[in-house]
Structures are given as C-alpha cells and as structure tokens.
Amino acid sequence: MGEAGAPGSKNAALPILAATVLGGRSVIHNCPDISDVRCTVEILTALGCDVSYDGHTVTVDARGISSHVLPKEHMEKMRSSIIFAGGLLSRFGQFTAHYPGGCKLGERPINLHLSAFKQLGATVEESEQKEGGIIVAKAEKLAGDKIYLNIPSVGATQNIMLAATLAQGTTVVQNAAKEPEVTDLQNFLVAAGAKISGAGSSIIVIEGVRELRDTEYTVMPDRIVAGTYLAAAAITGGAIRLKNIVHHDMRPIVEKFIDMGSFVTLEEGAICLTAPQRLHGLGYLTTQPHPGFPTDMQPQFMAMLACAHDNTTIEETLFTSRDKHVPELIKMGAKIINRYSKFFHVNGVPQLNGATVKAMDLRGGAALVLAGLAAHGETIVQEARYIQRGYQAIDSDLQALGADIKYFDPQAKICD
C-alpha cells in the first residue's frame, strides 16, 4: 500500500492570502508550493505589502500597503484574483481591477460579487466591454446589509465576508456557499479578530470591527488533491494510505469511491483505499455545490469511469463548459458522448491506450495524468503547466505510489 499526504489547500490559501490585506502582519502556514500561490504573492507585493514566501509559509506585512489597483497581467493569468476586491474595498474604500481573464471552464461572471459590493454601499463603474474591461469601485465607508445570493457562489461568498469584515454594522449572507474553504477563511478572519459566524451553513453573519490584529494561521488540507490521489490508486486497481486529510470535507468524494467498488477505512487524519481490479460505473453522477459531489473532481472521476464497468452519465451543473478533457480522453480510447457540455455519457472500456494529449485546464490535466497511469503504453500530457497551478508535486507524490511519471519540459510523460 503506497502512502501520500495532502498538501495545503489552493482554494483555501488564495482567499486567506487575499484577506491579509485587511490586517497587519499575518503568517500563513501550509500554503501549497504552486504557481497560483506564487501569483497571489506577486499581487500582494504589487499592492505594496512586504511579503516573504519559503514554499510553504507566507508572511505578509500589510501595514505598508499602498495600492488598490489589481495588476492587469495577474487578473488575466488567474481569474480568482478578483478575491482581492472585497478586502481592498474594506481596507481602502476602493479597488480597480480588470475583468478576470476568460476561463476554459466557460462563463465565469462576477455579477454577484459586484452587486453585493453595491449593496454594501459601494459605487461600481464598469467599462463597456467586459473582456479586458476595467472595474472601479469606491465606498466612503461600507455599511452592513442582508445579501441573498441566487447562486451559492464560493468566490462571491468569500468576497462579501472580506468586504463586510471592517464595514459598519452587520452583514448577513443568505444562500452562502458551504464549501470547507469558506469555513477556513472564516477561521482565519476570526483568528485575526473578525466577528464572523455561520460558515459551512447557508447563513453567514459578519459583524464589522474596527481593525484586525496580527495573526498566524495554518491552511486546511487540499480535499481535491487528496481526491485526485485516491483516484490514482482507484484507477490502477491499487491501494493507498492518504495522510493529512479532514474526513468531513472528503465525505462527498469518498462515498463515490465506495459506490465504485473500492474498500475504504478511516484512521485518525488518514484514509486507506483499496480498489478492485476494475471499478464499477455509477449510472449517474452530478456535480453540486457542497455538500454535493464537487465539480473539481468531475474530470478525475470521468477518467476513472472511462475504464470502469458499465456506463455512467455525468451531469456538470456548475460550469458551462468543463469538458476540455473529453476529446483528450477519447484520444486514449474512452467512449464518451458529450451533450451540450453538460451531460457526458461515459461507456466504460476495459483498457485505455497511451497517447499524446493536451491539458487545457487544471483538473482536466490531472484527469489525463490519471488516465495515463491506467493506460496501456506511454502517455504524454502536454501543457502540464496547467497542472502545476494546483498540484505542487504530482510527479514525486505519484512516483512514491509506484507510478512511472516524470515532468519533461514542457511535457509531463506518464508511462504504464
């Protein structure tokens, strides 16, 4: 049984690092060593913070912050940098940002973020054309309000929490996202002196405070990287002991591994999975906001289902085109019918074949690595830089589990 450990969570580290603009000196431990964290560190530096990063701990001194303008090239490189907006609005009373770059997953609007800022008292001016356009938001002093999200958006929930932290009065977020990364952001802010409660439920209450204090915090483990490593064992009929995980966060993912025929035992902070020679299909799998099955595991499960028994229809409900991995999997012999980039009819085949394929986004790239592990022969995954956005050591971690995988510049080569 191979052993691996989950690194710190990308999707918790990014909003927590953005939240440091609200305070003085923050020390953030267990940040994953990935390009998205390095990009976030560059943004903090561009804003005038004093930042140091050793690959796992980021130390930010925001007392010298001097800019409220989010750099264009960073907004284009990493759309989630819009998460800085709420904190800058709260700290500075203004922010200027470019519309986040297009994304391979389809439409990624930020209307819920901007309408929430307006509800808290900001004026928001947007240039005509969205793509590459500029957003300027200003607010003398933000004032708390009751905000209903018609979609439980993770980013919008987090941006409202950041904008409301130093606002006057109380803000109530209704239909808030319940993802564990929202709870981790609340835990960081509370550790720094914010008055926030309810994260993990659909109602989050933020009572504005005057300022935040210096703080030290450790980011939660990455449940999606953890799920990806479990999938590496499952797709190859192997066994794994995975450490540094939070069982509660993993439940929506783990139950699907069990449904596909894997045997799972839970230990303190760890999970053991033993897979059958060939996985069972699921019949139907739909992505949903937490605590439903997470969209960030959809591509990885598609890779597993592509070589499982039986058939499975996958329904992607969060994004309009999280399907760039489908044609690449088909190149490897998968039988998948794509209906409107929303329904994917996966007919399991006994064996995938190695091929040269291309990563088009982070989780789709990870799915191709998984498919390559199970495939007969050698697989080359081009554009592996996408994978490095969210996986700090997928090569060495999988090698430790027995995989024959190595990065080639610029391709990641996965053999049998």
- Tell me the catalytic residues: 103
Window 206 to 265, contacts with ligand EPZ (CB under 6 A): none
Beta carbons of 70 and 98 less than 8 angstroms apart: yes
Q: State residue 95 phi and psi, 5-degree precision.
A: -155, 150
Per CB under 6 A, 112 contacts ligand EPZ: yes
Put the strands of the sheet holding 195-197 in their side by side order: 146-148, 170-174, 203-207, 195-197
Evaluated on CA atoms 240, 245, 250, 255, the torsion sign reads positive
Buried-exposed string 123-142: b where 16+ CB fall within 10 A, e elsewhere: ebeeeeeeeeeebbbbbeeb
Task: Give the C-alpha separation, 395 to 76, whole Å.
Answer: 27
Per CB under 6 A, 295 contacts ligand EPZ: yes
Q: How many residues bind ligand EPZ (CB under 6 A)?
A: 26
Pick from 139, 154, 173, 355: which binds ligand EPZ (CB under 6 A)?
A: 154
Task: Give the C-alpha separation, 91 to 88, whole Å.
Answer: 5
Beta carbons of 345 and 339 less than 8 angstroms apart: yes
Per CB under 6 A, 107 contacts ligand EPZ: yes
Compare residues 61 and 296 and give the one whose CB is closer to ligand EPZ: 296
Cβ neighbors of 60 (< 8 A, separation 6 or more) are 17, 20, 25, 26, 28, 44, 49, 50, 51
Beta carbons of 353 and 378 less than 8 angstroms apart: no
> By rule CB under 6 A, what string of x and - marks binding of each residue 172-211 to ligand EPZ?
-----x-x-x------------------------------
Query: Minimum CB separation from ligand EPZ for residue 248, in Å?
Result: 17
Pick from 219, 362, 370, 374: which binds ligand EPZ (CB under 6 A)?
A: 362
Residue 200 tokens read as 């993990």
Compare residues 113 and 413 and give the one whose CB is closer to ligand EPZ: 113
Stretch that binds ligand EPZ, among 150-158, 195-203, 298-306, 323-331 (CB under 6 A): 150-158
Compare residues 156 and 275 and give the one whose CB is closer to ligand EPZ: 156
Stretch that binds ligand EPZ, among 60-68, 154-162, 378-386, 400-408 (CB under 6 A): 154-162
Beta carbons of 32 and 10 less than 8 angstroms apart: yes
Pick from 47, 156, 275, 346: which binds ligand EPZ (CB under 6 A)?
A: 156
Query: Minimum CB separation from ligand EPZ for residue 287, in Å?
Result: 9
Query: Minimum CB separation from ligand EPZ for residue 221, in Å?
Result: 14
Per CB under 6 A, 148 contacts ligand EPZ: no
Window 67 to 86, contacts with ligand EPZ (CB under 6 A): 80
Residue 7: cis peptide before it, omega within 30 degrees of 0: no
Compare residues 218 and 321 and give the one whose CB is closer to ligand EPZ: 321
Comparing every residue's Cβ against ligand EPZ, the nearest one is 155
The CA-based dihedral angle spanning residues 62, 68, 73, 78, taken in that order and rounded to the nearest 10 degrees: 70
Pick from 52, 63, 73, 111: which binds ligand EPZ (CB under 6 A)?
A: 111
Query: Minimum CB separation from ligand EPZ for residue 178, in Å?
Result: 10
Per CB under 6 A, 108 contacts ligand EPZ: yes
- In this structure, which amino acid lies at residue 125? E
Per CB under 6 A, 9 contacts ligand EPZ: no
DSSP one-letter code for 102: P
Stretch that binds ligand EPZ, among 10-18, 84-92, 301-309, 327-335 (CB under 6 A): 10-18
Query: Minimum CB separation from ligand EPZ for residue 36, in Å?
Result: 8
Beta carbons of 23 and 91 less than 8 angstroms apart: no
Compare residues 299 and 333 and give the one whose CB is closer to ligand EPZ: 299
Which of 131, 232, 162 shows the shortest CA–CA distance to 16? 162
Per CB under 6 A, 385 contacts ligand EPZ: no
Phi-psi region of 106 (alpha: psi -120 to 50; beta: other; left: phi over 0): left
Per CB under 6 A, 363 contacts ligand EPZ: yes
Which of 338, 335, 380 shows the shortest CA–CA distance to 356? 380
Cβ neighbors of 137 (< 8 A, separation 6 or more) are 85, 89, 94, 95, 96, 114, 117, 122, 123, 124, 125
Per CB under 6 A, 151 contacts ligand EPZ: yes
Compare residues 275 and 362 and give the one whose CB is closer to ligand EPZ: 362
DSSP one-letter code for 179: -
> By rule CB under 6 A, what string of x and - marks binding of each residue 298-337 to ligand EPZ?
--------------------xx------------------
The site for ligand EPZ (CB under 6 A) is made up of 10-11, 14, 80, 107-113, 151, 153-156, 177, 179, 181, 295-296, 318-319, 362-363, 390
